[in-house]
Amino acid sequence: MKIKVPTLIIDQQKVTRNLANMVSKVERSSTIFRPHFKTHQSAEIGELFKQNGINCITVSSVSMALYFADYGWNDITIAFPVNIPEIDDINELASRVNLNILVESQYTVIVLSSFITHSLGIFIKIDTGYHRTGLIPDDPELDKIIHLLDSHKHLNFKGFLSHAGHTYSAKGKNEILKIMEDSKDILNKLKQNYIKLFPNIIISYGDTPSCSMTDNLAGFDEIRPGNFVYYDVMQYHMGSCAIEDIAIAVACPVVAAHPQRNELVIYGGAIHLSKEFIAADNDFRLFGYVVNFTKDGWSAPIPGAYVSSLSQEHGIIKMPEKDLKKFKPGDIIGVLPIHSCLAANLLRSNYLLVKQ
């Protein structure tokens, strides 16, 4: 491959394997699989999902929904609180595809009631402990929202949805699986409260760490992990994946070497990798692992090598002397990103899907 500038390299074999693993787990559990496409945001990667029989997807914005609708996806959940200024786009999209959106206030439902003229699926966002968005399960607003939905012919109450983002600050697999079980209990209790009145409601749950670590997704009607398609260094550190499951590496040209301080400078900065990092003691920040590209992909991370800082276009790699002396300006080196969703977003228009 001829790399001139920082480029996202996607290993199709790893993507396919990550996808197959999740698909097989989903099939064992008879759960609907509605993967989150915000990680890759790519019609080309979407095709790999389609080949696995996946027809319904999750996105995080109206513009992302429009993009995938234009590529033939026609069952889409926008897993983000309704953005009222885009209500006309939502209405238009609902006329073209099966669209679900998220609400968490009566106010929003009242606004939707006045503007929506096509059938639209509505999930109520439930806060199962992450405390970013959603209603807590005993919020009296819940009943009022459901009452409003029940009286509107285009707004179809679809069920309860949560994102257990607090797994990212949990300590270890047991705590992560406990969060998943707690979320399942909370969502199922809500479902039981309303199932007689609304026999078709479901519960939908999403996050990559718990969906990756569990052996059993039974008890959820639908799951929506996204990051698992690529994984990343953060997921590896949490224990969601093995290092060899990480399916993307950012190819970066080396532009300078400073052996006196064990550093390489790469063309590859915050505008390519994002400023996401993993913090450790004593102000140490990890912005990515470093790999060598090989004939058929890339190596394991070079021991002792890591991206230690990023500015707008520059990355600084710390590397043991014996490895550092192998590199000269113009060589291409790989960085495994901390957060694949952000790196893939930044490099959306500059990627290579490598088929082995």
List of residues contacting a copy of itself (CB under 8 A): 2-5, 38, 60-63, 80-86, 89, 104-105, 107-108, 111, 131-133, 165, 253, 255-258, 261, 265, 267, 270-271, 274-276, 309, 311-314, 316, 328-330, 332, 341-342, 345
Which residue, 26 or 225, has its beta carbon nearer to a copy of itself?
Answer: 225
237: its two tokens: 């550190």
Cα–Cα dist 163/157, whole Å: 18
Which residue, 267 or 293, has its beta carbon nearer to a copy of itself?
Answer: 267
Helix (H), strand (E) at residue 333: strand 332-337
Which residue, 259 or 303, has its beta carbon nearer to a copy of itself?
Answer: 259
Check: CB of residue 225 under 8 Å from CB of residue 205. Answer: no
Give the pairing type, strands 7-11 and 248-258: antiparallel
Rounded to 10°, the helix 62-70/43-50 angle is 60
Cα–Cα dist 60/80, whole Å: 5
Least distance to a copy of itself from the beta carbon of 184, Å? Answer: 22
Cα–Cα dist 98/36, whole Å: 16
Spatial CA neighbour of 179 closest among 167, 188, 193 = 167
Least distance to a copy of itself from the beta carbon of 341, Å? Answer: 6
Spatial CA neighbour of 201 closest among 162, 163, 153, 157 = 157
Which residue, 25 or 163, has its beta carbon nearer to a copy of itself?
Answer: 163
Spatial CA neighbour of 317 closest among 292, 354, 350, 283 = 292
φ and ψ at residue 157, rounded to 5 degrees: -70, 115
- Residue 76's SS3 state is strand
φ and ψ at residue 36, rounded to 5 degrees: -85, 120
Least distance to a copy of itself from the beta carbon of 34, Å? Answer: 17
Least distance to a copy of itself from the beta carbon of 75, Å? Answer: 21
Instruction: Give the amino acid at 341.
Output: C
Least distance to a copy of itself from the beta carbon of 352, Å? Answer: 14
Which residue, 35 or 253, has its beta carbon nearer to a copy of itself?
Answer: 253
Cα–Cα dist 147/70, whole Å: 34
Least distance to a copy of itself from the beta carbon of 30, Å? Answer: 30
Least distance to a copy of itself from the beta carbon of 239, Å? Answer: 21
Least distance to a copy of itself from the beta carbon of 242, Å? Answer: 24
Residue 31: CB atoms within 10 Å: 21
Which residue, 127 or 245, has its beta carbon nearer to a copy of itself?
Answer: 127
Give CA separation, 276 vs 9, 12, 80, 270, 338, in Å: 19, 24, 21, 9, 6
